[in-house]
Amino acid sequence: MEPQEIITRTADFIRDKFIGEGSGHDWDHIRRVWVTSRALAATLPHADPLVTELGALLHDVADWKFHAGDEEAGPRAARAWLSSLAVEEEVIQRVETIIREISFKGLGVPTPMSTPEGEAVQDADRLEAIGAIGVARAFAYGGHKGRPLHDPTVPPMQHASFESYKQNTAPTINHFYEKLLHLRERLHTPAARQLAQERHEFMETFLKQFLREWEGEDLATL
């Protein structure tokens, strides 16, 4: 099968699976990660377009967060799909590696990407977690899990291990301190760092305004 047909079929498969999903892992998220990954990979001399695009399209195919913490669920589902298209073994393995390595696992847990394709896809996924869309997705995820928006009595928490990050059920605002405000510093590609600047600043403005309204500080202006 031609690479373009593999990509088109994979996009159709993922679109059907994720359309209308409500936890922030919907098709539009995946579509944006796909488009952004392609743009970032184009700035890297050694990134293979087919591996990048398949990695982007399949990166959330069976996220451990929705599969009882099973980190192999994603690579397994990607392999099953790509094998059904008779994609060559080497490409399958490189896509599996991206999915295995991509996820954030707590601030104290390094998550280096071992390939340029992986760097492009992880950066694209992380750009989706910051900025206006990142804010919207954080609250969509929190709502999906039934979590409060904020609780000032819960001190900001960071996680030194994947186990403690997994078990975390903190209010959504905490997620900014345990993850989102740190993503800008954890990007690989210069192009993603450039895009992150504005998105990061927007997120800081959002947080400041959220806490101001929470505390009723703006009432003092009456």
- Can residue 123 be called a binding residue for Ni ion (CB under 5 A)? no
Stretch that binds Ni ion, among 82-90, 125-133, 138-146, 182-190 (CB under 5 A): 125-133
d(CA 15, CA 153): 40
Using the minimum distance from each CB to ligand ADP, give the nearer residue, 24 or 55. Answer: 24
CB nearer to ligand ADP: pick between 24 and 75: 24
CB of 64 to Ni ion, least distance (A): 12
Q: Of 109 and 133, which has the nearer Cβ to Ni ion?
A: 133
Query: Residue 78 carries which side chain, given as an amino acid letter?
Result: A
Residue (85 or 107) nearer to ligand ADP, CB: 107
- Minimum CB–partner distance for residue 35 and ligand ADP (Å): 16
- Is residue 28 within 8 A of residue 20, CB to CB? The reply is no
The footprint of Ni ion on this chain (CB under 5 A) covers a number of residues equal to 2
Distance of CA 95 to the CA centre of its chain: 16
What is the rounded end-to-end Cα distance, in angstroms, of the chain? 67
Shortest Å distance, C-beta 55 to ligand ADP? 12
Residue 38 identity: R
Rounded Cα distance between 169 and 146, Å, is: 10
Instruction: Give yes or no for a contact between 187 and 40, defined as CB atoms under 8 angstroms apart.
Output: no
Residues in contact with ligand ADP by the rule CB under 6 A:
24-25, 63, 102-104, 125, 129, 134, 137-138, 141-142, 172, 175, 180
Q: Which does 75 bind (CB under 5 to 8 A by kind): ligand ADP, Ni ion, none?
A: none
Q: Which ranges of 19-153 would DSSP assign to H, the alpha helix?
A: 27-41, 49-58, 73-84, 89-101, 116-127, 131-144
